[in-house]
Structure 1
């Protein structure tokens, strides 16, 4: 089960997420109370082990700016969290090995998510960052061949139930493991990762004993 801790604003929280077993950490470059400057993100990403996927989150940004900021921040992947068109998404995806296209629950474009040139999509609440849960049945509209990352209102208490119902490839959390906006709660992060990994469907349980190395695929 792929677990991403998003909204990282400082090195301590990034190292905490890694220590607790997170597979990815996300840095928000779009306007947000969790927004981080690219240079500050770079100071963090360069200290993280290679098996951790670092993700830059953007919303309605020009493709050229996405590429520029992501490279400046040293992230390995980008997440497009706005109304990017399939053409814009494909243009950006051409510059990165891993790209995630996010969709809001109920988005009319979700059934055609396979037209955006990415193999990972994220399904979020209609109001991202609100911490509100949406109807998980809406995940059924996503194309089955894509890797689905479930987000939106997840926390240590409900992530197991969410995984059992949706059977996503991964889960993503920001506000659900915070003590305040932009600051992670160590106990909540530990419990979220542990509960998510414990709830992983059998088909996602592999023979690997070590972490996945995102530098080599």
Structure 2
């Protein structure tokens, strides 16, 4: 069954609604330039509440070229399950964050995607995704609403545990799952009422449609 990650959460109400909708992973963005940025102390409080509710979800922290000590401190403070590195981080940084870190790729071609997958995939956590494949944008690091290249993703999906991201919505995620057959899907802007504010009905629809894509 396809895993679902809902990213860019900034409130307990949205995180709880995502978990209750059936999301497998909740994503928190620790990149200050993102409109979905959340302070570590606030994320820690949200995650502690979710864990207290015993909701069956894993938590993911997203970082963009952050210093290793900052990542490690946030990982500890928020009790994150996984770390998603979404910048230009080198493989040795992932090695230092194992067994929890995986790399987000924004390839411009299949050759580039295949080469980067060779560098990073084996460093991914054994119980989570090996890679996240996002739409390419020259300046922005995710959350753009641009649809990713499903053909590239489909070429890599049989070999790697891929989280497919980039422009997914409740209206296209079922087709994306059927075409790509990824390990999981990742959504942020596609289930929002405004940046950092989730639409609970869209989240429920997204999870349901993603899971139906396997049928």
For each residue in 1:65-97, what CA deviation from the matched residue of structure 2 results, as whole angstroms up to 9, or x when unmatched?
Answer: 21111211221111011111111111122xxx4
Please point out which of 134, 153, 156 is paired with 2:148: 134
Please point out which of 177, 197, 202 is paired with 1:163: 177
Matches within 5 A, 1:1-217: 1-31=2-32, 32-48=34-50, 49=54, 51-93=56-98, 97-106=99-108, 108=112, 110-116=114-120, 117-119=123-125, 120-127=130-137, 128-140=142-154, 142=156, 144-200=158-214
Structure 1 residue 135: Cα displacement: 2.3
- What do you get for the CA RMSD once the two structures are aligned? 1.7
- Counterpart secondary structure, 2:38: coil
Aligned length: 198
Structure 1 residue 189: Cα displacement: 0.4
Distance 1:16 1:41 in 2: 15
8 Å CA contact 2:154, 2:179 repeated in 1: no
Structure 1 residue 145: Cα displacement: 3.4
- Counterpart secondary structure, 2:175: helix
Question: Comparing both structures, which one devotes a greater share of its residues to helix?
Answer: 2
Structure 1 residue 110: Cα displacement: 4.3
Which ranges in structure 2 are unaligned for 5 or more consecutive residues? none
- Counterpart secondary structure, 1:146: coil
- Rate the CA distance shift 1:187–1:143 in 2: closer, same or farther, 3 A: closer
Structure 1 residue 50: Cα displacement: 5.6
Distance 2:113 2:73 in 1: 27
- Counterpart secondary structure, 1:51: coil
Question: Please, what TM-score do these two structures have when normalized by structure 2?
Answer: 0.86
- Rate the CA distance shift 1:150–1:2 in 2: closer, same or farther, 3 A: same
Which ranges in structure 1 are unaligned for 5 or more consecutive residues? 202-217
8 Å CA contact 1:154, 1:172 repeated in 2: yes
